[in-house]
Amino acid sequence: MYESLTTQARKILAKDFALPDAHITWQRPVDPKHGDVSTAVALQVSKELKLRPKEIASTLATHLASVEGVAKAEVAGAGYVNVWLTPAALLMELQQSRTAHTASVTRKSDRPVIVEYSQPNIAKPLGIHHILSTVIGQAITNLYRHHGYNTIAINHLGDWGTQFGKLAVAMRKWGEGKTATELGLDGLLALYVRFHEEAEKETMLEDEARAAFKKLEDGDAAMKVFWEEVVQVTMAALERTYERLHVSFDFVHGESFYMDKMQPILEEGKRKGVFHVGEEGALIVEFPEGTNLPPYMVLKGDGATLYSTRDLATVRYRVDQFHPEKILYVVDVAQQLYFQQLFAAVQQLQWDVPILEHVSFGRMSFADRKMSTRKGNILRLEEVLDEAVRRADAIIAARGESIQTEDRPSLATMMGLGAVVYGILSQNRKMDIVFDWDRILSFEGNSAPYLQYTHARAKSVLRKAEAGEDYDLPAPSVPLTERERVLIGTLLLFPQVLREALDTHMPHKVANFLYSLCQDFNAFYNAEPILQAEGDTRAVRLGLTACTAVVLKTGAELLTLRVPDRM
């Protein structure tokens, strides 16, 4: 219907004002009394046509009023055109929007989009700060896949560096002869923390650690076995956490994966005159004046490689291996300068590369000051998730019979984990994110439990009506009520919201939409009898309920949440 309105509006502008190919967009008015859709095109073209906006809008409204499916069209304000659609047209539009509820077929022949996220360091458990990159990256990946993009998810692990030398020294001195497997991730973390405590008193420990890591770099067999075991122990723990969060990757490539791919990059950079010798013999990239970028070191004076060296090798490998359309790096805002340098260095190397984008996010703070206290220099993500499940279970117990479930532990898990993830994704990623237990576990506000409860309410109605989610929306024989029209208007926004969230890499747009949908459905539920209605009215209301349930579930799963059928 919207396409038909756009086509008709363009024809009117072409015929009456000799203005072909005008750009026309439709918005949903904030106040439903102002129509189902509205356009400001008359205001936008008035200067070009040298006519008053109201004159253009009046002509548009007159012609659009006669278009099939339009009940009324009026001029509003300084030159807006407000359009009311017939109930049949609205419901037909909603029926046609169902394609947004399921993922498109992946276009595997297309050049892929690579999304890199999570990026933890080996030998440490995931900290609460890791949840930002992890769930933002997964949500963006889900959005690309939902729209049919050939998408590759990559976890870029910090599995190389002097931390392994430090850990090896700590194991030798205080590991009591145990293996990395016997110690587990908690034991390895405790040893790593102890190394730093002891190194403050005994400075020679740092030299021992560098020597130990040098042995690993030089291929020492025993150090390699130790390193592999530490990686294996860490990955087993990481996988358990990722599974809880519904996070998955196509490839897990550590920095070590690129160790044999750096030398050709260094030689190419020197050959092209991009890498220059800087202070103390280091290799650096210098950027033109006006870029305000400091030199970018790619090789230390002692010949040691850096994170930057490996990142250049990573770009080269991904371009050669996958031929991507774009590469997204979901990394916090503190690395903004670094990525500007990396992308500028790639440009100087004159590689034929895709779009490179740093998808940044702000820092996390806590409304509960106790959460800022870190044990062993890290607030563990697993501990936060466990606490969320405990708190959710306490809420279920406190609410008694008002929450219906046959599997309380599963519901508590769904609520608790969902609350943490939604608490992150419902906030604008570019802003600093505040973690607040009371807000994220609330049944009233913009929270996972509110979304989950609304979905369960819709499913309950459908169960009582013995109706499924394969809804049909017949043209009603009576006018739609205001609450029905509002709910339809919100549901119709879903495809547009998904596209905007994808294009901007802003998952919070989906979360905010789901919150609005919950509000509108609950207002509809409380105002309009559903099961007691008859004929077309009952069919329409059940159809809207089914559509709401499908959209809530689809949107939630894009954000990595799960929603219950009973609650």
Sorted by where each begins, the domain ranges of the chain are: 2-85
CA torsion, points 333, 334, 340, 343, in degrees to nearest 10?
-80
CA distance 17 to 311: 55
pTM: 0.91
**Using CB atoms within 10 A of its CB, is residue 547 exposed (0-12), middle (13-18) or buried (19+)?**
buried
CA distance 161 to 256: 9
Cβ(39)–Cβ(496) under 8 Å? no
**Using CB atoms within 10 A of its CB, is residue 238 exposed (0-12), middle (13-18) or buried (19+)?**
buried
Would you write out the chain's pLDDT as a tens digit for each of its 567 residues? 678 899 999 999 999 999 988 899 999 998 888 999 999 999 999 999 999 999 999 999 999 999 999 999 999 999 999 999 999 999 999 988 888 888 898 888 899 999 999 999 988 889 888 999 999 999 999 999 999 999 999 999 999 888 889 999 999 999 999 999 999 998 998 999 899 999 999 989 999 998 998 898 888 999 999 999 999 999 999 999 999 999 999 999 999 999 899 999 999 999 999 999 988 889 999 999 888 999 999 998 888 888 899 999 999 999 999 999 999 999 999 999 999 999 999 999 999 999 999 999 998 887 765 554 444 456 789 989 999 999 999 999 998 888 888 899 999 999 999 999 999 999 999 999 887 888 777 877 899 999 999 999 999 999 999 988 887 788 887 899 999 999 999 999 999 999 999 999 999 999 999 999 999 999 999 999 999 999 999 999 999 999 999 999 999 999 999 999 998
CB atoms inside a 10 Å sphere around CB 20:
10
Q: Name, in order, each residue with C-beta under 8 angstroms of 528's C-beta and a sequence gap of 6 or more.
A: 481, 483, 484, 541
Beta bridge partners of 252: 155
List the one residue out of 479, 559, 453, 567 whose CA is nearest residue 136: 559
What angle do helix axes 53-64 and 2-17 make, rounded to 10 degrees? 120
Buried b vs exposed e over 264-286: b needs ≥16 C-beta within 10 Å? ebbebbeeeebbeebeeebbbbe
Coil, strand, or helix at residue 289? coil
Query: Token digits for 113?
Result: 């989009």
Q: What share of the chain is helix, strand, coil (3-state, %, to 5)?
A: 55, 10, 30
184: left (phi over 0), alpha (psi -120 to 50) or beta: left
CA distance 485 to 541: 11
Query: Token digits for 342?
Result: 């990396």
Coil, strand, or helix at residue 85? strand
Task: Determine the topology of domain 2-85 in CATH.
Answer: Gyrase A; domain 2 (3.30.1360)
CA distance 33 to 463: 33
CA torsion, points 144, 146, 148, 150, in degrees to nearest 10?
50
